Amino acid sequence: MAARVPVDVDVVPERRIHPPEEGFDPARSFAAGPEALLVLHGYRVAGASERANELIARDLTGSDVRTAIPGWPEDLDQAEPFEAVLRVNGEDLPIEVRVRPLPDGYVIVSIRDARALIAGREAQALLVEAEQKYRSLVEQIPAIVYSDDGAFTNYVSPQIEQILGVTAADYLADPDTWMRMVHPDDRATVEAESDAFLAGQGGDLTDYRMVRPDGRIVWIRDRAFAQRDEEGRVVWEQGILFDVTELKDAEARIAHMAFHDGLTGLANRQLFEETLELALERGRRDRSVVAVLFLDLDNFKRVNDSFGHHAGDLLLTEVAQRLRDSTRGTDLVARQGGDEFLILLADLETSDAMTTLSTLAVRIQLALAQPFRLYGVDLAPSASIGISQFPNDAYDAETLLKNADIVMYRAKRAGPGRHQFFTPEPTEPAIR
């Protein structure tokens, strides 16, 4: 027997019931109606509509409704809609029953095939289950899922708190939160690309930065899909915000490794040459001086032989730092390899280029003369420095570097700790 289950009393259309007049016969009045109806007098079925007989597959007229329909209520005045199961032609038929008492002991009973109702409930249960599974999946992935109605964000997954440091409730409460958290340097680009996307004129947004309330910067990759109406207006939008901070950091490290020396962190020869080419282009355009200093440590081999290569690496690292400290912020210091270093000075005025370069060379020698402490021993290395200038000594990068190398060896032959400017000679000794 099915349990009584309250149901929506508004499903059956409202009927205006009038007190029966003299000679009124409810059974005869409803017998031909299109609905599955029974007319009771007390508990006896006084009449049944054709639809009721078809639904139940037998004529109930004259029977006791309590035996015909399981779960019949004891108090008709307090009866609520209920569900029952009939055995019809060897099969169970779920029905929904509604009872409406009338004066003079008459009762109207409407019966509805509940299979569609049950199927709807089952479908609704499956839909709820699917939504729960979808929500569980969405809220477990390491990204922020969001949904917009075309104007405002109406859902954002709870991962936002871990990734961006704000709760989902706070984010949804303020429509300006997203753009306010975009890094100021990226905001104009993001606004323009977002407007283009909503207008149907753009695709995915460029990766951009967002600033958490604690000040930490997070790189975001924003991927969205928009459903549009016939006029191209966004009806709703769904998207995912991926935290790609680690990826961006890795890319930056790879890029740094491609153009920087792994030991000292200085620029490598490739970056130096590329920067030199750009400086020469400006020099040709602006008629300014570009200079290259080629620096080689004196007697560095003795450090490796006496203390080992690890000590030599430590010394090279210290030398690199002192070269950074001795140069201007606009100068580029690079490690050529071994104990050789390059320094690029660009955009120099012709009138004071020689003074600037001489002053730098002396400043470098003084910085290197300050003792380095290695394994309890104070070392004060010196360097031989060759200086070549554009446009006086060379007009292209290759020749400028070659001349700086040549004059560096001239300085080394003159004694440790010297610097010289390039001047052409009739015959040059071999460089190596």
Q: And the tokens for 68?
A: 């015909």
Type of residue numbered 199: A
Strand order in the sheet with 82-88: 44-48, 37-41, 106-113, 91-101, 82-88
What's the gap between Cα 267 and its chain centre? 32
Strand order in the sheet with 419-421: 332-337, 340-348, 289-297, 383-390, 419-421
CA angle 103, 105, 108 (to 5 degrees): 80
Q: Find the Cα–Cα–Cα–Cα dihedral 50, 55, 56, 61, rounded to 10°.
A: -20
Strands 289-297 and 340-348: antiparallel
* Other Cβ atoms within 10 Å of 153 Cβ, number: 18
Report the distance separating Cα 191 and Cα 36, nearest Å. 62
Nearest alpha carbon to residue 222 among 235, 209, 236: 209
Place of tokens 């989902």: 168
Place of tokens 């440790």: 416
Given a contact cutoff of 8 angstroms between Cβ atoms, the answer to whether 344 and 400 are in contact is: no
Report the distance separating Cα 211 and Cα 219, nearest Å. 9
DSSP 378: E
HSE value, Cβ hemisphere, 13 Å, CA-based, for 323: 30
Report the distance separating Cα 61 and Cα 300, nearest Å. 118
DSSP conformation letters of 150-196: SSSEEEE-THHHHHHSS-HHHHHH-TTHHHHHB-HHHHHHHHHHHHH
10 assigned to active site: no
Q: And the tokens for 81?
A: 């809609």
Nearest alpha carbon to residue 401 among 286, 262, 269: 269
| Close Cβ partners of 210 (under 8 Å, ≥ 6 residues apart) | 164, 181, 182, 183, 217, 218, 220
Exactly one of 148, 186, 339, 405 is catalytic; name it.
Answer: 339
Residues carrying an active site annotation: 339
